[in-house]
Amino acid sequence: MNGDFLALLPRREAVTAGVGTHGSSAPRLEATTVFAFHCADGILVAGDHRATAGNVVFSDTTEKILELDSHSLMAIAGSPSVALEMARTLQTSFEFYRRSQLRPMSLAAKLRALSRLLRENLPGTLQGFGAVAPLFAGVDASTRKPAIYFYDPLGAQFEAAAYAGSGSGSASVKSVLHYLETWGPHPATMGISDAVNLANRLLMTAAEFDSATGGIDPGQRNFATLKLLNSDGIRSFSQAEQAQLWQEGRR
């Protein structure tokens, strides 16, 4: 016995044949990379557009920043099919609560709802085909302040003081954000134009060191998926808006 629980699962037939911890003949479809950080105008949530299956680029048009209601966002990394189903379930739950109770669901209740879905997904996580590592951004109704949360596969939630990231390229993103938080310029003090350009540069950096991360191509007007969350709601940034901010930032 070497203490490796996941390695023990195939021998106890707890993992589906062909989908073990030591590889699979059918590569899993995965979405990478997403991150969020505080800026002067709220929380900026960003993601690339790439989904991969092993070493194959499955799609470069994947939307990973999902609006759950007017004041909450979910950024997905891992299995897109499972994550999208979780998002649809949350959207329905939040809207049903709002209509039936005549008020929005509290931020704490929203966080618990996502935790419950992650716990229910544990069999898929252990079998290696349904792991999801989401980020959640929401606004506390009592303080009207936005907050960032990240999760472990069992559904435990953790609040991020300044930033969070998930997916295969997130290590590079978090390294740069840690540097900026420590030595400046601090992202939390950046205006929206600087924050948008920072997000795109972070994706360019991640793509340099992670082949599963789709970078950006300013020449083709191909930028990140970007959404800003604050007490006023959610603002999406189109490719044209980002291209304009990119050009202004280079002057």
Helix (H), strand (E), coil (C) string for the chain: CCCCHHHHCHHHCCCCCCEECCEECCCCEEECCEEEEEECCEEEEEECCCEEECCEEEECCCCCEEEEECCEEEECCECHHHHHHHHHHHHHHHHHHHHHHCCCCCHHHHHHHHHHHHHHCHHHHHHCCCCECCEEEEECCCCCCEEEEEECCCCCEEEECCEEEECCCHHHHHHHHHHHHHHCCCHHHCCHHHHHHHHHHHHHHHHHHCCCCCCCEHHHCECCEEEEEECCEEEEECHHHHHHHHHHHCC
Banded model confidence at residue 180, pLDDT cuts 50, 70, 90: very high
CATH fold label, 27-246: Glutamine Phosphoribosylpyrophosphate, subunit 1, domain 1 (3.60.20)
> What number is the average pLDDT over the span 127-147?
91
> What number is the average pLDDT over the span 147-153?
93
> What number is the average pLDDT over the span 38-48?
97
**CB neighbour list of residue 60: distance below 8 Å, 6 or more residues apart:** 49, 50, 214
> Cis peptide leading into 33, omega within 30 of 0?
yes
32 noted as active-site residue: yes
Mean pLDDT of the chain: 88
The per-residue pLDDT for 1 is 47
What does the domain layout of the chain look like in residue ranges? Answer: 27-246
Banded model confidence at residue 54, pLDDT cuts 50, 70, 90: confident
Given a cut of 60, whether residue 126 has pLDDT beyond it is: yes
Given a cut of 70, whether residue 202 has pLDDT beyond it is: yes
Q: How far apart are the first and last CA of the chain?
A: 61
- When mean pLDDT is compared across 37-41, 99-103, 119-123, 144-148, the lowest value belongs to 119-123
Candidates 32, 62, 125, 213; catalytic one: 32
The per-residue pLDDT for 11 is 57
